[in-house]
Structure 1
């Protein structure tokens, strides 16, 4: 018996042909390969966060990177990744998602190997950009392939598992990084990707079918170029603003506003084009737009708090990188436990109620940071991380389903690119804006305690809690009086930033409560799960993944092949 869609009130996409039987039988194995590919792409970015101190050390321990170079080792990946997400999704629809996935994971593996043996900070920054290029082709393709190997009624469950793997990667990245750095040199955090990439490539070639848009039309070259230019400029402006902790600087405003102007031009071009890269009419659907906004807002709030929680755990509470990673495990456990089952709750209460409740839970967890101090019991932290993970698990799958099922199956790459682009831009904004709030409040608090610091070190000491503690250590006994004020200043800054993060999550809750669809009405007729599908018993030509028998016809509702029995 078919399960109802988790977003039933969303205007349905045109029906696509059913998945060929040969692909359907191996769909869960294919999902496992997609999760493996997604895991290393997401995990590697969180691994780097625990290695920055080591990489900053002089050779041979590290590469002697400055603070600015360390930031760009992270940001070069983000800039290329976010800028090319939309384009890679379009290419997947046109050229074939399996080909794009194989290309992306290969480039990511090559970039990882090169980054592991970087001799200078400049090389590391360049090779991280190569990794971002590969990752931009991997992430949208995994979700697009998923939509083409699962029938519509199983897609919510598969997307829930896919979303759970993202949470797992975010949490185990710091743990993996901490373990590697305790036993090997800093490059091991990148080199560990290579054997996983080789395994993923072999499994992809064996298991994953190819699929593409059968009628892609002409390439919208101006639209593609506008999307790349707009996203790169916007993300660069966001990153620059976070570096300077000042969004009024000309070097921030020029690229950010320029990027927004280019993206407005992109939207206007797409609306007038007779062969648009993306049909802008989808954004006219309140449920679709609300789902996209929810993705951006929740990652804005969550990435900001993830940024400052690392400093709280390590700089204020004194935990090691490995211990800090282990403390984040409840967040991953909650996502793995609840994300695959989110569809069941949605079926009962509706996407609107479930997502709004998830947003409120995330907001509650973020607000709790405003009450934390240096002696807050660890079990309280664990409960808060668990609640945040549970909230995320009830947001990501339903809104992703709402986005992906609003588009035709042949446009799955474009839908996945939209989903991931808004998530990436929202996360980058969260780190930049909330990081700037944290930095500004901290500087204001600590300045009054730097009178005894030598003038040459005063700027570094006022930059961040890490800078203050580094100067205190350099000054020896004379710097001990700086430690307690640094901790107090950081906690005050964290409390302000946590309230700001919670407020953003509350905005997200209001958006989804207003516009996402509610619970589907009971239908005793049990309609076909493929909206607009042909009548039962009819056959439609199968838009076969490459490699399957050509010319096969697939029963529209499983007639003749036992559709319900094979589930």
Structure 2
């Protein structure tokens, strides 16, 4: 790798091809977009649809709370650990191959989960599902970059982001309908026909995309160091709320992640074919875009995690109703992502990213003012602003990271973008969750006493505290007067909202910091696309 891999990228590859002449479907840009969107839709849909099914899975398979947590955590952990390596695999063997293997594997593991008869088998196949999902996402970005000319890439990424938003929005609704009217297994079986469609379209439409000068060998030591470091980091973040941030086990995992990351960086400077050449980060916009993605995911996914509990447990909505109430936010993401792509194509990413994060900051601050009696109108206002603000950041940061990377590392850049989002989201959920839990524990005794309720002590007090952190009112003994039942629910809900307000306030500060970081971004410097091989 040359000293300035970014600046020399144009000289290393042939010029970008344009849309194929005539009506041929092989390599057609818009059909390529349709194909990768179908594949990535499975991954996005899976992120929210399974959350709705988890309570039923726990009941039907008699799973412990710690086990049901790993239905989600195991999937996210595998996804985060493997994303950058998966991008490298696409760069080496072709993004078409990586995409097809990912689509087939994701559908097959989904079917296996549906046929599983115990929780441990479910968790094992969820980990495998995460590995195949990691293959899909960087490959999708690499295929888009190879199919679209530079001036249309932002629009393509915008539509791709809209599909992800639509799938995320549909998850709670589709999941609620399937769980209520079919079975929890159907939540996973739905991926099988989607995966088959992605496979057929991929075979008919996709052209292979890889750079002429992509590395021909794998940095096995680099892969091992990065994978173990990512595992230690994400696992430590996931377990920190349970263990405590100052617990020796938490410090061991997080400290170990730091040490391994340093060793990985030192090795990358010596390796002949490094997994992530350090010269990649000489691009200030790429580095800023990566950190921006971490902060955006920290604020957005960390804070929005509490909204579903707020809607279902404080306002008493069903899963389907909660999904419908979130449509103003996800609907704006569906509409806003393609529009953001057009705006970024004309203005560059800096202005839309900064404006988007400022709007997100306002939405986060507004959501910190919600209380137990907030109506649909005021909630919808903040949800609309949230979706409107996040859209240009999702599209712009992706363009900044992938567009400023050398073309032979487009898959690695796609994996870097997705890894930043996974780490940021996991860190945000853990940190904001810890802050919220501390706030709820602090105000709950006062709210409980203020409601005129007798003090709760011992194991019951701990159970009450944990339930309040989710907004769940404790069950009242038979014969309890309704006035007392309402007072118990009111004390718990007020405590939950206090914690949620703190989480959103902190998220708004992080979002504002991301807006300032957005000033360092700029349009990708590698305008030519990678060589395309059939």
TM-score, reference length from structure 2: 0.91
* 1:463 paired residue among 462, 466, 470: 466
Structure 1 residues 123-166: Cα deviation after superposition (integer angstroms, max 9, x where no partner): 22212112111111111111111111112221111111112222
Q: 2:319 is matched with which residue?
A: 321
Structure 1 residues 165-220: Cα deviation after superposition (integer angstroms, max 9, x where no partner): 22222211111111111201111111111111111111111111122233323321
Distance 2:38 2:477 in 1: 44
Distance 1:419 1:86 in 2: 9
SS of 1:129's equivalent in the other structure is helix
- Farther-moved stretch of structure 1 (177-186 vs 444-453): 444-453
- What is the deviation of 1:19? 2.8
SS of 1:287's equivalent in the other structure is helix
- What is the deviation of 1:384? 1.1
- What is the deviation of 1:446? 2.2
SS of 1:14's equivalent in the other structure is helix
- Say whether the 8 Å CA contact 1:12–1:405 is kept in structure 2: no
Distance 1:477 1:64 in 2: 30
* 1:382 paired residue among 373, 380, 388: 380
Distance 1:127 1:530 in 2: 39
- Farther-moved stretch of structure 1 (447-456 vs 24-33): 447-456
* 2:200 paired residue among 184, 202, 208: 202
Q: Does 1:544 align with 2:532?
A: yes
* 1:158 paired residue among 152, 156, 159: 156
Q: 2:97 is matched with which residue?
A: 99
Q: 1:28 is matched with which residue?
A: 30
* 2:80 paired residue among 82, 102, 113: 82
- Farther-moved stretch of structure 1 (427-436 vs 64-73): 64-73
SS of 1:275's equivalent in the other structure is coil
Q: Residues 324-403 of structure 1 correspond to what in structure 2 (within 5 A)? A: 324-403=322-401
User: In 2 relative to 1, CA 475–432 (structure 1 residues): closer, same or farther, beyond 3 Å?
Assistant: farther
- What is the deviation of 1:530? 6.6
- Say whether the 8 Å CA contact 1:167–1:336 is kept in structure 2: yes
- What is the deviation of 1:467? 6.6
Distance 1:259 1:177 in 2: 35
- Farther-moved stretch of structure 1 (31-40 vs 395-404): 395-404
Q: Does 1:69 align with 2:62?
A: no
User: In 2 relative to 1, CA 407–467 (structure 1 residues): closer, same or farther, beyond 3 Å?
Assistant: closer
User: In 2 relative to 1, CA 470–147 (structure 1 residues): closer, same or farther, beyond 3 Å?
Assistant: same
- What is the deviation of 1:12? 7.7
CA RMSD in angstroms comes to: 2.4
User: In 2 relative to 1, CA 75–532 (structure 1 residues): closer, same or farther, beyond 3 Å?
Assistant: closer
Structure 1 residues 431-464: Cα deviation after superposition (integer angstroms, max 9, x where no partner): 1111111112112222454865474433222113
- Farther-moved stretch of structure 1 (232-241 vs 111-120): 111-120
Structure 1 residues 25-65: Cα deviation after superposition (integer angstroms, max 9, x where no partner): 621011111011111111112112222322232xxxx2222
Structure 2, unaligned runs of 5 or more: 1-5
TM-score, reference length from structure 1: 0.86
User: In 2 relative to 1, CA 266–451 (structure 1 residues): closer, same or farther, beyond 3 Å?
Assistant: farther
User: In 2 relative to 1, CA 242–117 (structure 1 residues): closer, same or farther, beyond 3 Å?
Assistant: farther
Structure 1, unaligned runs of 5 or more: 1-9, 521-528, 534-541, 547-567
- Say whether the 8 Å CA contact 1:147–1:155 is kept in structure 2: yes
Q: Residues 178-217 of structure 1 correspond to what in structure 2 (within 5 A)? A: 178-215=176-213, 216-217=215-216
Q: 2:497 is matched with which residue?
A: 491
